[in-house]
Amino acid sequence: VTAVGPFAVHRLAIGPSEGPVVLGGGMALAPGAQRLRLLPRSAEDDTWELATVSVGEPGVSQEEGTARLSCLRPGPTGVLEERGGVRVEGGPAALATSRGRLFQVALLPSGSYRVRRFALPRECDGAVLSPEREDLVRGGHPDGVVPSGWTLVADADRGDLLLGEAFYDGATGSARFLLTWFSGESLDDIARGELPGTTDQFTALALARGRALVVENGRQVHVLEREGERVFTLAHADLSRGSDPLDVSRILAFDGSVAWLALNSRPVGVVALSAGDLSVLARHETPSAVRSIAFTGGRLVMGMNNAVTVAADAPPLQRR
């Protein structure tokens, strides 16, 4: 397992019974390495995917102007090394990757969104990417009202995009969360749906294998599907109402069947929920808040800011 921080990269051995062992690594990334990073999807599929962990926001975004994305590949020792980068103009914008392509979505003053699709090159030579396609799409609000918060996620395998918009009413303390689901085949193939809420932004969104996962206010969890032009709720749970109330900070992984969520509530750690009925499949406590997870050999590896915890017998994610 490879553990990647802002500048440090370590290789870890995960044995069948003992805890993780550091095999090597250290301060492998130069201070110039950007927070926006691309990694090969797998050893078998070397197309790039975003490997940035969002902090304080529901998705990955670039700042105003031109953003540089650092490309990381394993070096001779297996430790990730920076192998150049690419640049993307047009920020601020949300970013997502799917099937070797980068999607950039920017909110325009009109309330519409500019959607750009880029092909990611095999080699990162510092070039400014040129969009393969650019479209203007309407948001979910019929009057073009600018949302209080919005985010974008992509299905890494199918290419579908999910745009989520929050419209908060301070006078009533209520919100409307509008969802626009674009097919991976065509941005003209759209389904829309709406959820009630109480905050001005999503906690987190994910999209995988024909299902969407939405977390609002850290407690309201929705599993959604699309049928024609309609997005509907398959399952909903208020995590604050159980015998053991939970508060969620981010979605760590989602494959359409199992959702792994990071917990804010004490004790911190992770919880796995079934996407079918949002029942709890597993829960693991950790010393501090979990930032990312990985699965290897039937074990769950939970990464924190300065530690790694391993648990056995975790419900696995489906392979891509």
Question: 115 forms bridges with which residues in the sheet?
Answer: 105, 135
Q: How confident is the model at residue 8 (pLDDT cuts 50, 70, 90)?
A: confident
| Paired tokens of 59 | 């998705």
pTM of the model: 0.92
| pLDDT at residue 320 tops 60 | no
Share of the chain above pLDDT 70, in %: 94
SS3 at position 77: coil
Average pLDDT in the chain: 90
Q: Within 13 Å and on the Cβ side, how many CA atoms surround 168?
A: 12
User: For residue 99, which amino acid is it?
Assistant: R
Question: Distance between alpha carbon 53 and the CA centroid of its chain, in Å?
Answer: 7
| Strand arrangement, sheet containing 174-182 | 149-154, 161-169, 174-182, 190-197, 230-238, 220-227, 211-216, 202-208
Integer Cα distance of 155 and 99 in angstroms? 9
Domain 147-320 CATH (choose: 1.10.3720.10, 3.40.30.10, 2.40.128.630, 2.60.40.1930): 2.40.128.630
The strand ranges marked E within 170-219 are: 174-182, 190-197, 202-208, 211-216
Integer Cα distance of 189 and 128 in angstroms? 29
Integer Cα distance of 116 and 271 in angstroms? 35
Integer Cα distance of 90 and 279 in angstroms? 41
CB 66 within 8 A of CB 89: yes
Integer Cα distance of 43 and 308 in angstroms? 23
- Percent helix, strand and coil across the chain, each to the nearest 5: 0, 55, 45
Map tokens 């030579």 to a residue. Answer: 125
| pLDDT at residue 202 tops 90 | yes
Integer Cα distance of 224 and 209 in angstroms? 11
Q: How confident is the model at residue 43 (pLDDT cuts 50, 70, 90)?
A: low
The per-residue pLDDT for 153 is 95
SS3 at position 18: coil
Domain boundaries, the chain: 34-137, 147-320
The per-residue pLDDT for 312 is 81
- pLDDT digits over 256-267, tens only? 999 999 999 899
Most confident listed range (19-23, 78-82, 279-283): 279-283
- pLDDT digits over 213-254, tens only? 999 999 999 999 999 999 999 999 999 998 889 999 999 999
Most confident listed range (22-36, 135-149, 210-224): 210-224
Map tokens 């004490």 to a residue. Answer: 266
Q: Give the total residue count for the chain.
A: 320
- pLDDT digits over 275-314, tens only? 999 999 999 999 999 999 998 888 899 999 888 999 886 6
CB 206 within 8 A of CB 213: yes
The per-residue pLDDT for 316 is 62
| Paired tokens of 75 | 């070096």
Residue 217 makes CB contacts below 8 A (sequence gap 6+) with 197, 198, 199, 203
Question: 37 forms bridges with which residues in the sheet?
Answer: 70
78 φ, ψ (degrees, to nearest 5): 90, -10
Question: Other CB atoms closer than 10 Å to residue 21's CB: what's the count?
Answer: 10
Concatenating the DSSP letter of every residue in 119-149 gives: EPPSS--SPBP--SEEEEE--S-TT-PPPSE
